[in-house]
Amino acid sequence: MTNLPRVSLEDSLYVLQLARETALAQNKAAQAKRIGPVVEEMRSLVTSVPSTSTPPSSGVMGQSDFKALLNVSQARANQPAQSVDSTASVLERNRLIGAMSEAKMSDIDIARQFSMTREEVQLVLNVRQKNAYGMK
């Protein structure tokens, strides 16, 4: 385990945190609860591995859009659990869909992540694009 670079462990931690946040966003509390201990164990591994001079990830995980998405999910994970208004959760879901699309994630992968059809994802992205042009 000590041969794993810190960057790989951190990237794995971020993916696990994103999976947990996705489960919470989809109201799958049981699934999120099962992922919780794995996230905590991974976090302890990340903190126990000494930092090396490994260059930052240049893949999707290293992109600023993906890091921003992870920061949002981490901030949300630190907030106490509360009931979410359905309108707010839809807006949050649509914002995440937009961020994933900007991070060059395919429509199909986004649809799988949110248990939606590809057409629904494209509709959300088209509405976001029209709103973006209308606001300028």
* pLDDT tens, N- to C-terminus, the chain (136 residues): 456 565 677 778 788 888 888 888 888 888 888 888 888 888 887 777 665 555 555 666 666 777 777 777 777 666 655 545 577 788 888 888 988 888 888 899 888 888 889 999 999 999 988 887 766 5
Residues 46 and 112 in one domain: no
Full-model pTM: 0.38
Contacts 24+ apart (CB under 8 A), 15-23: 15/61, 16/42, 17/70, 17/73, 17/74, 17/77, 18/69, 18/70, 18/73, 20/77, 21/73, 21/76, 21/77, 22/113, 22/114
One domain for residues 68 and 116: no
Q: Are residues 59 and 90 in the same domain?
A: no
Question: Do 68 and 92 share a domain, yes or no?
Answer: no
pLDDT of residue 13: 79
pLDDT in the model for residue 55: 56
- Domains contained in the chain, number: 2
Domain of 89, in residue numbers: 83-136
